[in-house]
Amino acid sequence: MTPRHEDAAPDFQELSDRVYRLCLAMLRDETPAHDAAQEALVRGWARRELRREGVSWWTWFGGFAVRVCREFRRGRAREAERSAGTEGLEAVEAERGVTELAPVSLPMTRVVRDAVMRLPDRQREVTVLRYFIGASTAEAAELLGCPEGTIKSNLHKALASLHAALAKVGIEDELSGVSASFDRGGSG
């Protein structure tokens, strides 16, 4: 989908697939991701007349998806969320056909994913949106309802936390590939 305002109804198949991938990456479990995506699409469609000029359908529905996923996560116990694994991120990467963490070996990719899932909520959301979903900085800011500077700040903090976490397990030498991969994301 393009980041421009569209007067015509969106391509719901493409939109629902993208919303589902976002929910799956954020919730890491297929059943709640399907439920969250459906809820986000229903809420977004019910309020479609409130969509501002210049807001793309993806940004509109993606914002609902982020909020619904936050509601779902709040409904779970914190500890269960942290130990749930990274299957959602793996599925999103496989579906996209690429991995943003490609410079890192496969066992390292798993360690990096685990470290991403342990980040504080906002840092994790920003990291997932930018590097697993592929949202631009502007799209991530719109989806999360914050300035682009906040997105960049959270990405910087997330990368610093990832460096520290991965250094603790003795893989800081491998981190240059992760940094380069993250840095290539740009501010787009």
Q: What is the CATH number of the domain that holds 163?
A: 1.10.10.10
Count how many domains the chain has. 2
Mark which of 56, 84, 112 sits at the end of a domain: 84
182 and 103 inside one domain: yes
User: Dihedral sign, CA of 146, 147, 148, 154?
Assistant: negative
25 and 92 inside one domain: no
pLDDT for 104 beyond 70: no
pLDDT for 4 beyond 50: no
Q: How confident is the model at residue 184 (pLDDT cuts 50, 70, 90)?
A: very low
Mark which of 84, 107, 135 sits at the end of a domain: 84
20 and 108 inside one domain: no
119 and 164 inside one domain: yes
Number of other residues whose CB lies within 10 A of the CB of residue 134 = 16
Domain encompassing residue 110: 88-188
186 and 98 inside one domain: yes
101 and 168 inside one domain: yes
51 and 119 inside one domain: no
The residue count of the chain comes to 188
In whole angstroms, how far apart are CA 15 and each of 26, 104, 187? 17, 31, 24
34 and 13 inside one domain: yes
The stretch 4-27 carries a mean pLDDT of 81
Contact in structure between 181 and 134 (CB atoms under 8 Å): no
The tens digit of pLDDT for each residue in 172-182 reads 655 555 454 54
The tens digit of pLDDT for each residue in 109-157 reads 777 778 888 899 899 999 888 888 888 999 999 988 899 999 999 999 9
What is the rounded distance in angstroms from the CA atom of residue 154 to the CA atom of residue 123?
5
The residues, any chain, with a CB within 8 Å of residue 47's CB and separated by 6 or more, are none
The tens digit of pLDDT for each residue in 32-55 reads 999 999 999 999 999 999 998 888
Contact in structure between 91 and 24 (CB atoms under 8 Å): yes
98 and 186 inside one domain: yes
